[in-house]
Amino acid sequence: MKKFYSAFLLAGILLLLNCAAHTNLAPVGKGKSTTYLSFGGPIIKAFGARIPIPYATIGSNYGLTESVNLHGDLHLLSLAYQVVGLELGTAWFPIQHEGLRPSVGIMPGFLALASVKSGVDDRFRLYPQLAGSAAWRSGKNKIYTGFNFLFPLSSADYDDEAAAAIFSPFVGYQWQVGSRTKLFFELKWNAATTRSDQVAVDYLPVAGHGAITPLFAIERSF
């Protein structure tokens, strides 16, 4: 029964949060910028197989100072549902690479969603976010880990068990390809503290919680 229903709510998962690889691992340098394309999403069971949802975002980092980046992401696939998704934030790196010391980043920001679909009464949602990351050098490459907190400001009126914060830890690897290009592979446990084994979509949860989410990204610096 569930398999048959699963696909019908693919739309639902496409807006599951934090579906972009974490490219903000170090300062990009004052006045410099990078552009990146991220794709991947929660693994779900559909059409008899486990597949990641092909979510896609495009974004840019800009170096405001030598230790602070600004970043913005536009969610591409949600546009198919006439939902504009925009993430804006800043990344501050109080600790930067030196020897075995990782580059540590703290990233406050927000995700804004707006529906431009006709017949919709309630058009906007805003979600504050806070992320943290630590990235270690591995030759020219980097290995990194971190977390993301997203804070829903509202919940369905019937849902008295809604989470106050959605926690998503991640690990990843960044390859330096040439002087200007980087590739990222990241594994995220989306909504790790939220039960996901009793919802319409067949996610790949861990102990009944969250959704395993592989993400890929390519970044080009300018």
Partner 1 sequence: MKIKILSLGILVIGLVQLACELDGFLFNTEKIEKYQLPGNTIPLKLIEEVTFKSGDYALFGYWVKTSNNRRGLTVLYSHGNKHHIDEYWDRVMYLHQLGVNVFIYDYRGFGRSEGESSEKALYEDGEAALNYVLSHFTVLPDSLIIYGYSLGNVPAIYQAAGQIRPLCLISEVPFASANSLTQGSTIIDIPPRWLTEGEFDNIKYIKQINTPFLLLHGEADDFVRFRDNGKVLFENAPEPKKLLLVPKANHGDIPETMKIENYLQALNQWVEFSVKYQRK
Which residues would be at the binding site for partner 1 (CB under 8 A)? 1-2, 4-5, 7-17, 46, 51, 53-54, 77, 80-81, 83, 115, 117, 119-123, 125, 127, 150, 152, 154-156, 158-159, 161-163, 166, 191, 194, 196-201
- Report which of 125, 124, 127, 171 is spatially closest to residue 150, judged by C-alpha positions: 127
Distance from chain centroid for Cα 43: 14
| Residue number, 98 or 122, with CB nearest to partner 1 | 122
Residue (75 or 142) nearer to partner 1, CB = 75
Q: Which is nearer to partner 1, 6 or 60 (CB)?
A: 6
If we measure between CA atoms, which residue out of 93, 104, 95, 101 comes closest to residue 65? Answer: 93
Distance of CA 199 to the CA centre of its chain: 21
> Are residues 205 and 188 in contact, defined by beta-carbon separation less than 8 angstroms?
no
Smallest gap from Cβ 204 to partner 1, in A, equals 13
Beta-carbon contacts of 109 under 8 Å, excluding residues fewer than 6 positions away, are 71, 87, 88, 89, 90, 128, 129, 130, 131
Kindly state the smallest distance separating residue 202's Cβ from partner 1, in Å.
Answer: 8
Cβ nearer to partner 1, comparing 200 with 206:
200
96-98-99-103 Cα dihedral, nearest 10 degrees: 10
CB of 99 to partner 1, least distance (A): 40
**Nearest distance, CB of residue 36 and partner 1, angstroms:** 19
Task: State the nearest-atom distance from the C-beta of 66 to partner 1, in Å.
Answer: 36
| Closer residue to partner 1 (CB): 70 or 77 | 77
